[in-house]
Amino acid sequence: MYKAHKIRIYPTPEQAASLGRAIGVARLAYNFAVSKWRGTAEGEKRPSANELSKLFNAEKKSLFSWMNEPSAQIFGKVTQWSIQQNFDKALQNCYSKRSKAPTFRSRSSSDTATVDNQAFKIKDKRLSFPNTPSIRMATPLRFENSKLVSCTISRSGKRWFAAVNVELVAAEQPPVHANPGSVIGVDLGLKTAVQLSTGEQYKFPVEALARKAKRLVRYSRSFARKCEAQRAQGQKLRSKRCLKVQEKIQHLHNDITNIRNDFWHKTTSDIASKFETVVIGDLNVKGMKALPTLGAKLQNVALGQFRPKLTYKILAASGKLIVADRWFASSKLCSECGEKNSSLKLGQSSWKCACGALHDRDLNAALNLRNLAVPVLPQVMGEVKTLESRKVEPRKRRSRDCEEVSTTERLIAA
């Protein structure tokens, strides 16, 4: 099993300059590969990532003589990973129609560099690269009995981070879940980010994000005014004041990302550790973001982070994830009698069934999702099918209410 630990590092000004050059070299190698791949004449076979890596190593001595210096030993590892791993992955995504053709990386969009385990060492709270003094880390590596795989250096403003990818030697996955037999239904929303069928709620920290967003608007306007004043004077390079405001904007974006990640990591970890079987809905988050009324709010809450994080954490805890069909009407079905309220509108937060039961919309949806794993009403809820039965029976629209995610599918989703 592979895991990663992202740690903040504190390089000296000289070390920060060296890491910045490594990031620039990684971008240079990637753009070199994109240029050669795009420059292939029509009808000719496009070169592979390995061929482009060999071509770069052959031409770098004449094109980039500064890469032959002894202090540039780390650059060779950076360029090798940038072409053979990153560019190769971009080619695979392009050929499989998952993304468009690889494009050039700009200085503002690419601030990372990756090396393999032969180019770095970690001891206690020190990270070292070839011919470079060791760099202080905020915390030691979390996984002690593990094999180092790679290290990705990233930069956000003046903050530096090292994401260390490791392979666990001793399996830490428990054979059974800590709470065997426990079942929970989970419904996602905007008013209450996560609603459990037990009645427990996880509310998104909207106030903290609102404070950061307010400061972001103020700094963005200040940055625009300073840049406009420079353009009026005919200056092309940004002044120190512009750079200071730009750094504050980068730090605010980083803080907003950290708030979202902190909420979803803590929420999914709590759910995966408490319940063995978790039932969720298959939300079309990408389609929901296109809605004019809900798009901005959905992007602010980042609902798309919930399922990927929950999937790999349930796998690590030896749990089971059941994903309900996208067309399963969890909000419109009465969790008491199974009657469907087809007239329920999107803005209604509560409704009353003909049987007399008064339902909260989110809690009722979570209860209906839980009933998929505990079939109280099989004639309404349908059957919980496994991945094997899905292979035998071809899927039709609305043909089943849920599917069980096997170990293989969960590994792919993670």
Residue 73: predicted pLDDT: 66
* Strand pairing category for 277-281 and 183-188: parallel
SS3 322: strand
Coil, strand or helix: which one is 168?
Answer: strand
Cβ neighbors of 73 (< 8 A, separation 6 or more) are 130, 131
Query: Collapsing DSSP states into helix, strand and coil, what is residue 162?
Result: strand
Distance CA 318, CA 77 (A): 37
Mean pLDDT, residues 339-359:
80
Tokens 């427990």 belong to which residue?
200
Q: Is residue 402 predicted with pLDDT exceeding 50?
A: no
The candidate with the shortest Cα–Cα distance to 53, out of 87, 92, 104, is: 87
Does 267 have pLDDT greater than 80?
yes
Q: Which residues pair with 305 in a beta bridge?
A: none
Structure tokens at 185: 């239904």
Q: What is the SS3 assignment for 310? A: helix
Query: Is the pLDDT confidence value at 372 over 90?
Result: no
Distance, in Å, from the CA atom of 152 to the CA atom of 154, rounded to the nearest integer, reads 6
Q: Is 284 a residue whose pLDDT tops 90?
A: no
Distance CA 48, CA 52 (A): 6
The full set of domains in the chain, from first to last, is: 2-168 (no CATH), 183-205+263-413 (3.30.420)
Mean pLDDT in residue range 321-346: 82
According to DSSP, the residues that pair with 156 across neighbouring strands are 159
Q: Which of 40, 57, 51, 43 is nearest to 87 (CA)?
A: 51
Q: Are strands 358-360 and 350-352 parallel, antiparallel or unpaired?
A: antiparallel
Which structure tokens are listed for 22? 């490594």
Pair of tokens at residue 223: 């940055």
Range of lowest pLDDT (40-49, 96-105, 197-206, 266-275): 40-49
Taking residues 222-242, report their average pLDDT: 82
Task: Check whether 377 has a pLDDT greater than 70.
Answer: no
Q: What is the Cα–Cα distance from 59 to 306, expressed in whole angstroms? A: 45
Q: What is the mean pLDDT of the chain?
A: 81
| Helix, strand, coil share of the chain (percent; to 5) | 45, 20, 35
Q: Is the pLDDT of residue 397 over 60?
A: no
pLDDT of residue 375: 60
Tens of pLDDT, residue by residue over 126-149, are 999 887 889 999 999 988 778 899
Cα-based distances in Å from 310 to 165, 270, 322, 325, 381: 20, 10, 11, 17, 24
Q: How far apart (Å, rounded) are the C-alpha atoms in residues 381 and 400?
A: 9
128 forms beta bridges with 121
Instruction: Output the CA angle 155-36-154, nearest 5 degrees.
Output: 5
pLDDT of amino acid 221: 94
Which tops the pLDDT comparison, 207 or 110? 207
Extract the tokens encoding 295.
């798009």
**Across residues 263-282, what is the average pLDDT?**
92
Give the three-state DSSP class for 172.
coil
Q: What is the pLDDT of residue 71?
A: 58
Q: pLDDT at residue 17 above 70? A: yes
Q: What is the pLDDT of residue 70?
A: 54
In Å, what is the CA distance from 403 to each residue of 361, 370, 382? 23, 13, 11
For residue 164, the model assigns a pLDDT of 94
| Position 322, amino acid | I
What is the C-alpha separation between 67 and 147, in angstroms, rounded? 29
Dmax over Cα atoms in the chain, in whole Å?
A: 82
Residue 255 burial (C-beta neighbours within 10 Å; 0-12, 13-18, 19+): middle
Q: Are 120 and 129 in contact (CB under 8 A)?
A: yes
* Highest mean pLDDT out of 248-252, 326-330, 373-377: 248-252
pLDDT of res. 316: 83
CB within 8 A of 345, min separation 6: which ones?
A: none
Asked if 163 and 5 touch (Cβ cutoff 8 Å), the reply is yes
Structure tokens at 184: 């929970």
pTM of the full predicted structure? 0.77
pLDDT tens, position by position, 41-78: 777 888 888 888 888 888 887 777 777 665 566 777 88
Distance in angstroms (rounded) separating the CA atoms of residues 229 and 370: 59
- Which of 104, 32, 13 shows the shortest CA–CA distance to 75? 32
* 125-134, 233-242, 403-412, range with the lowest pLDDT: 403-412
User: Distances from the Cα of 118 to the Cαs of 9, 81, 142, 149, in angstroms?
Assistant: 20, 12, 20, 9
